[in-house]
Every structure is written in C-alpha cells, then in structure tokens.
Amino acid sequence: MIPREFAYERPESVADAAGLLRSHGDGARVLAGGHSLLPMMKLRLAAPETLVDIGGISSLRGITDAGSYFEIGALTRHADLAGSDLLGLACPVLASAAAGIGDPQVRNRGTIGGSLAQADPHGDLPAVLVALDGEVTAEGPDGTRTIPARDLFRGFLTTSLAADEILTAVRVPKAPHSTYVKFNRRAQDWAIAGVAAVVDGDSARIALTGVGAAPVRAEAAERAFWGGNAAEAAARAADGLDPPSDAAGSADYRRHLARVLTLRALEEAIGG
C-alpha cells in the first residue's frame, strides 16, 4: 500500500502543466482529485515518476451557463455538480450521476475531468457525457482541440487524450428531460450497470455503464423509443451487448439490468 517514489510538481497555469508533461515524457501523470490515481499508485498498478498536480489552477473550476449549454471546468468536483441548482434543473442527468458517485469524501475530492480522463468502465460520468453528446477541450503544448464524447473513450481506462494534453473543460447541452440510474449492491459502490437517458421530444439518447470496456450507446433502444415508447426501447436495451461476467454479476444479469434500468431511466426522464 505504499506507492513508488515520485517527483511532485504544482504548476500555476495550464501552459506550464502541459510543458511539464512534455518535458517529463511518459513518466509523468496529471494529478487532479487523486481518487483514482492515488489508489492505483498505492496498489502499484500505476507508478508515475512525476505527478503534475493541477489542483492549484483555479481557472479550471466552475460551472458556467452559456445559453444552450454548460461549460464546466475540469477541476469541478462531483459534489459541486450534484449540488448545482442550475444542473439540477437544466441537466439533471449530470447532477444525478454525480450525486451517486462513491461517498461524500470521494465527491468532495474527485473531479469531472479526472473521471472522464480515467475512463473507468464502471465510472458514471463517461456514459453521461456520451448520452448528452457532449465534448471536452484538451490543451497541450501544440495547442487546443475539441474532442466529442464519441471520440474520447477508446476502451478500458483509455482515452484519445495525448500524454501531454490536459482536459481543461467539458461542454454539455442543456437537457431538462434526462436522468441517470445505476444499480449497485451497497450504497456508495460502483455501478454494476448504469443508464444515462436524455429525452428530447420524440427521440432519446441512451448510454450504458458497466456493460463493456467503455460506455456503450444503446442504439437499438434509441430507435425503438421513437415517439416515446419507453417499454419498447427498454426491451431492446441489451441488443448487441457483450457485457463482462465477474464477481458482481454475470453477463446475463447485466443484460437484464440494462433493460430494467433503461425503462426506469426513460420513465423518469420523460416525467422530469
């Protein structure tokens, strides 16, 4: 439970942080809330030579109402998302997912940028970003680029961020008819499966957590929903899924959860 020795840097700007990441090469890792990286270091599943702690860059924190969408700084904590009245009304899928992450300690340290960069297949926020069709901004020594959610998540703990890029902001559209539901065995556990649903008139976008190496769009369910048919959509929610079997549940159990949770999420989103 003791990490390998590492060097520690605490830059004051994104440009300095990106410069440090480039100069230290593959041996450096960004540190945000530390609630995924530090446990991995303690278990020696990660052993960075240098930690670049971006926690002091205050410009990376906050939720801005930009009209039709929200711009959210990467260092915004889960507790800030969960407690935001703005998000609660205009983007409840994000607020409800954040409210169900871990326990109060995790929610008060963990950040939206860290959750997305970590790309844990059981993490809640990646599926939310996919269902919202949101995007992130990444800044590196060579400039700034926008990455749509569909291009961000590449597989197990893998994103399309370069090693010297920092995820600086998240943009999500307003989606008042949306929600996130997850199933776990004990309160505060990670999701065995979860569903993010965003309903917009006759159509819905649905993304699943815990049923693959990365968030999965339930496209057959989305097509079946057309016109508002939640039951038909839920029946198709596991079409094409190839979920893992592990100690938390078999593949069949996860398919079952995908259907049950999709119905719950769509009914809640329509009613919201």
Ligand X SMILES: Cc1cc2nc3c(=O)[nH]c(=O)nc-3n(C[C@H](O)[C@H](O)[C@H](O)COP(=O)(O)OP(=O)(O)OC[C@H]3O[C@@H](n4cnc5c(N)ncnc54)[C@H](O)[C@@H]3O)c2cc1C
Question: Residue 106 Cβ, how far from ligand X at the closest point, in Å?
Answer: 5
The bridge status of strand 50-53 relative to strand 7-9 is parallel
Among 11, 14, 29, 152, binds ligand X (CB under 6 A): 29
Residue 140 interacts with ligand X (CB under 6 A): yes or no: no
Q: Of 87-95, 98-106, 197-205, 236-244, which segment contacts ligand X by CB under 6 A?
A: 98-106
Answer yes or no whether residue 169 interacts with ligand X by CB under 6 A: no
Closest CB 162 distance from ligand X, rounded Å: 10
Three-state DSSP class for residue 136 = strand
Cα distances (Å, whole numbers) of residue 90 to 75, 108, 264:
21, 22, 20
**Binding residues for ligand X restricted to 100-119, rule: CB under 6 A:** 101-102, 106, 110-111, 113-115, 117-118
In whole angstroms, how far apart are CA 263 and each of 5, 25, 63, 179, 230? 48, 46, 30, 12, 6
Q: Which is nearer to ligand X, 74 or 94 (CB)?
A: 74
123 lies in the binding site for ligand X (CB under 6 A): yes
Question: Which one, 120 or 268, has the nearer CB to ligand X?
Answer: 120
Query: Considering only residues 14, 18, 20, 32, which one is a binding residue for ligand X as defined by CB under 6 A?
Result: 32
List CB contacts of 81: < 8 A, sequence separation 6 or more.
63, 72, 87, 94, 95, 97, 98, 112
Shortest Å distance, C-beta 12 to ligand X? 15
Check the CA dihedral 252-256-258-259 and report its sign: positive
CA distance 184 to 77: 22
Binding residues among 45-84 for ligand X as defined by CB under 6 A: 74
CA dihedral 266, 223, 148, 257 (to 10 degrees): 50
CB of 98 to ligand X, least distance (A): 9
* CB-CB neighbours of 158 under 10 Å: 12
CB of 236 to ligand X, least distance (A): 26
Q: Within a 10 A sphere around the Cβ of 178, how many other Cβ atoms?
A: 30
Nearer to ligand X, 96 or 224 (CB): 96
Residue 36 found at the interface with ligand X (CB under 6 A): yes
Q: Count of residues binding ligand X (CB under 6 A)?
A: 29
Which residues 171-190 are close enough to bind ligand X by CB under 6 A? 190
Nearer to ligand X, 194 or 225 (CB): 194
Q: By CB under 6 A, tell whether 166 contacts ligand X.
A: yes
Both tokens assigned to 79: 């507790």
* Cβ proximity of 82 and 107 under 8 Å: yes
Sequence-separated (6 or more) residues with CB below 8 Å from residue 142: none
Task: Supply the minimum distance, in Å, between the C-beta of residue 237 and ligand X.
Answer: 20
Residues near ligand X (CB under 6 A): 29-37, 39, 74, 101-102, 106, 110-111, 113-115, 117-118, 120, 123-125, 161, 166-167, 190
